[in-house]
């Protein structure tokens, strides 16, 4: 397996990611206080739209995600639950897999929306999947109250799984 994906993922860019952490305007789970840029708002709107298509008959917890690729293409994903719970997929991974299937591997940003008291953040599995393609990918977390928290994949997943974690020490 090629390790060049690490160059893309940038998970080794600890300094970059640390600065991103410091730049994060809100702490996950503590609410958001960021006014989104027009570009971020466009992604948020797309995530809110696709959230309505979520298939969540068991949890009734609808989530939408909109992923913008390097060339500006937007892929939308919603959570799709299954009677066999483990077969459920999150909105974020749904969007990533659609993008990859269409030939994209470089992402600028992903917006995620769910109905929580604070901006929803991607689960650990989705963070790992997003990290595969870039620690610098911006993560725009929001809720139906339009609270927004902006972070990066790398900041949300420090010490991500890596085949060779010592390589970058
Ligand atoms: Zn997830």
Q: Which domains does the chain have, with CATH numbers?
A: 5-155 (3.40.140.10)
> Model's pTM, two decimal places?
0.81
Q: How far is the CA of 118 from the centre of ligand 1 (A)?
A: 16
Q: How far is the CA of 59 from the centre of ligand 1 (A)?
A: 14
Average pLDDT, the chain: 85
Taking residue 46's Cβ as centre, other Cβ atoms within 10 Å add up to: 21
Who wins on pLDDT, 7 or 112?
A: 112
Q: How far is the CA of 132 from the centre of ligand 1 (A)?
A: 14
Question: Residues near 53 by Cβ (< 8 Å), separated by ≥ 6?
Answer: 64, 78
SS3 119: coil
Which residue in the list 68, 81, 92, 147 is annotated as catalytic? 92
Question: If we measure between CA atoms, which residue out of 38, 112, 46, 36 comes closest to residue 73?
Answer: 46
Q: Is 92 a catalytic residue?
A: yes
In this predicted model, what pLDDT tens digit does every residue of 109-163 receive, in sequence order? Answer: 999 999 999 999 999 999 999 999 989 999 999 999 999 999 999 999 998 888 8
Q: How far is the CA of 88 from the centre of ligand 1 (A)?
A: 10
């Amino acid at each position: 397996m090629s390790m060049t994906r690490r160059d893309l993922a940038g998970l080794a860019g600890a300094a970059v990611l640390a600065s991103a952490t410091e730049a994060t305007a809100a702490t996950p789970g503590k609410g958001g206080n960021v006014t989104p840029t027009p570009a971020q708002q466009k992604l948020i709107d797309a995530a809110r739209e696709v959230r309505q298509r979520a298939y969540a008959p068991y949890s009734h917890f609808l989530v939408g995600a909109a992923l913008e690729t390097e060339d500006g293409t937007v892929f939308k994903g919603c959570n799709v639950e299954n009677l066999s719970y483990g077969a459920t997929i999150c909105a974020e991974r749904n969007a990533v897999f659609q993008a990859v299937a269409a030939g994209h591997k470089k992402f600028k940003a992903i917006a995620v929306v769910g109905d929580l008291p604070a901006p929803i953040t991607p689960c650990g599995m989705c963070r790992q999947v997003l990290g595969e393609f870039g620690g610098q990918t911006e993560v725009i977390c929001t809720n139906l109250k339009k609270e927004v928290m902006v972070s990066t994949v790398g900041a949300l997943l420090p010490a991500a799984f890596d085949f060779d974690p010592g390589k970058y020490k």
